[in-house]
A and B are shown apart, each in its own frame.
Chain A
Amino acid sequence: MTSSAHALADVLAAEGGGGEGGFQSPTIAEFYPPAVAEFSLLGVDFEITRITIIMWIATAAILALLVLAARKASVVPGKLQYLGESGYSLVRDGMARDVIGPKGLPFAPFLASLFFFILANNFMSIFPFAQISPNSRFAIPLLLAVIVWVLYNYVGIREQGAKRYFKDAAIPPGVPIGALILVTPIELLQVFVIRPFTLAVRLFANMFAGHMLLVVFSLGAVYLLGAGGIMPVFGAASFLMALVMTFFELLVIVLQAYVFVVLTATYLNGAVEPAH
């Protein structure tokens, strides 16, 4: 991928970004916009890019909406309050209470915050003028997954005791002794490495691929409409496809936010309740 990107970049440089020099397919450079501001603090380089600003706008917008929805919350809800309440209820009842169990309600605020944060940032991938999700940068899904990882391990140790928690993770009850040679490494790897990694990659890859797909169809449409002969017909088809993909992306946006939080709840359930 990187080598092809490299090759394409070479072509692009050679052509000077001209329109008539054949189709330029989008590259991974899509996800590395130029920095708006750069600074270094305690040896760590910080780079504020367009995507960083999109993340702030998305987060600020969802916070503003929810605070507005909750500010004048009453027993008989208004439209905005109803919307906010529905989202919160979905997470609180459908995940915290039903997935984690009777001890799950204290996690509802965290899970709901996670859900709305991911949802808002995912939504930026089809929001006009932003059109790229901060979650298509691996940093954001990764940090969320790490927070989840720390949380469920902490809760597991707190609820079951460190000894019991790690013992259950390494030696799942009900597994024959002989199988432990195989099961123990898999289980340990799964709980402590694979879970957070897949959690982060699932979200990241979905948003990354979604963005790529949209860009390919959009740029293709623009290029083909400008090309001669019968090409504009295919351009129209490509444009249509970009539209369809936008709606598909909307589905992915909601689904991935949901999946991330449901999996978090499942991991928390495993931490709260001792293994059976």
Chain B
Amino acid sequence: MNIQAAESANPLLPPVGEIIIGTITFAIAFFVLAKFVWPRFEQVFRARREAIEGGIERAESMQAEAKAALEQYRAQLAEARTEAAQIRDQARAEGQQILEELRAQAQEESTRIIARGEEQLAASRQQVVNQLRGEIGALAVDLAGRVVGESLEDQARRSGTVDRFLDQLDGMAAGASPDGRGGATGSSVYVPQGDR
């Protein structure tokens, strides 16, 4: 033991040489640590933070992408639905139109058929009437001649009595039942109605 040193020393009065040695030691330690150790740690911290932030960012971007895709699909689906509804509506409208057209066509056809039938009927009636008129006249004159006992044919032809009479009958029939359905026997001939 260096008793002499202990004796003379005050522990709160350090030797200058020791302070210098200590300062150099600390300076070396600080230099080495600040140059080789702490920057490496800082670098690692930064890398770690970036890795974490990068991961979060990546996940976020992926999520956004998925969301966008979902939105797109939804939009497409909605579009398709609208389109389908449109097509359906159009088809329905078209069907309606076709139906209308067919109906109109059928109506027209039926009207045409009816009109032709009426025409034919009227024509045949006229024919029958004309024929009957002739025959009835001849028959009446013939019968009257037989009843009277002489031939009235020439005279009747001359005076046109029969025709006048028949015309009178026609006039009467028309006056009694204008609709042609009345009980008047003079005109029991079928008269087609316009609404049939």
A and B assemble together:
yes
The interface on chain B, measured as residues whose beta carbon lies within 8 A of the other chain's beta carbons, has a size of: 40
The answer to the question of A242 belonging to the interface, with a C-beta cut-off of 8 Å to chain B, is: no
* Interface contact A138-B17, CB-CB below 8 Å: no
Contact A73–B26 (Cβ < 8 Å): no
Interface residues of B in 25-79 (CB under 8 A from A): 25-26, 28-30, 32-34, 36-38, 40-41, 43-45, 47-48, 51
A33:B48 contact, CB within 8 angstroms: no
**Are A147 and B11 interface neighbours, CB within 8 A?**
no
Contact among B6, B22, B25 for A32, CB-based, below 8 A: B6
Asked if A273 CB lies within 8 Å of chain B CBs, one says: no
Q: Which of B15, B22, B41 contacts A88 (CB 8 A)?
A: B41
Report the bound CA distance from A208 to B1 in whole Å. 18
Q: Tell me whether B2 is interfacial, beta carbon within 8 Å.
A: yes
CB pair A139–B18 under 8 Å, yes or no, is yes
A2 to B37 alpha-carbon distance, docked (Å): 44
In the complex with contacts A2-B7, A75-B48, A85-B41, A47-B22 CB distance below 8 A: no
Could you tell me if B20 and A44 are in contact, using CB atoms closer than 8 angstroms? yes
Q: Name the distance in Å between B9's Cβ and chain A's nearest Cβ.
A: 6
How many chain A residues touch B (Cβ–Cβ < 8 Å)?
59
For residue B147, CB closer than 8 A to chain A, the reply is no
A175 to chain B, nearest CB (A): 33
Proximity string of chain A (18-52) to chain B, C-beta cutoff 8 Å, 1 when within and 0 when not: 00000000011101111100000000111110001
- Give chain B nearest CB distance to A169 CB in angstroms: 26
Q: Does A63 contact B (CB under 8 A)?
A: yes
Closest to A66 in B: B37
**Chain B: minimal CB distance from A42 (Å):** 10
* B26 contacts A117, C-beta separation under 8 Å: yes
A32 to B9, CA, bound (A): 9
Q: Is the CB of B29 within 8 A of A59?
A: yes
Contacts of B148 in A (CB 8 A): none
Is the CB–CB distance between B22 and A140 below 8 Å? yes
Point out the residue from B1, B26, B43 that lies within 8 Å of A29, measured CB to CB.
B1
Indicate if the CB atoms of B34 and A29 lie closer than 8 Å. no
Indicate if the CB atoms of B6 and A73 lie closer than 8 Å.
no
The chain B residue with its CB closest to the CB of A81 is B44
**In the complex, residue of chain A having the shortest beta-carbon distance to the beta carbon of B25:** A59
Q: A47 and B15: CB pair below 8 A?
A: yes
Measured CB to CB, the nearest residue on chain B to A136 is B11
B5 within 8 A of A: yes
Q: Report the bound CA distance from A45 to B16 in whole Å.
A: 8
Measured between alpha carbons, how far is A34 from B4 in the docked complex, in Å?
10
Q: What are 9 A-B pairs at a CB distance below 8 A?
A: A28-B6, A32-B9, A47-B15, A67-B37, A73-B44, A85-B44, A108-B38, A201-B12, A204-B11
Chain A residues packing against B (C-beta within 8 Å): 2, 5-6, 9, 12-13, 27-29, 31-35, 44-48, 52, 55-56, 59, 62-63, 66-67, 69-71, 73-75, 77, 81, 84-85, 88-89, 108-110, 112-114, 116-117, 134, 137-140, 142-144, 147, 201, 204, 208
CB within 8 Å of A: which residues of B?
1-3, 5-7, 9-23, 25-26, 28-30, 32-34, 36-38, 40-41, 43-45, 47-48, 51
A73-B40, A85-B45 given; name 7 further pairs at CB < 8 Å: A9-B3, A29-B5, A84-B37, A109-B33, A138-B14, A139-B15, A140-B22
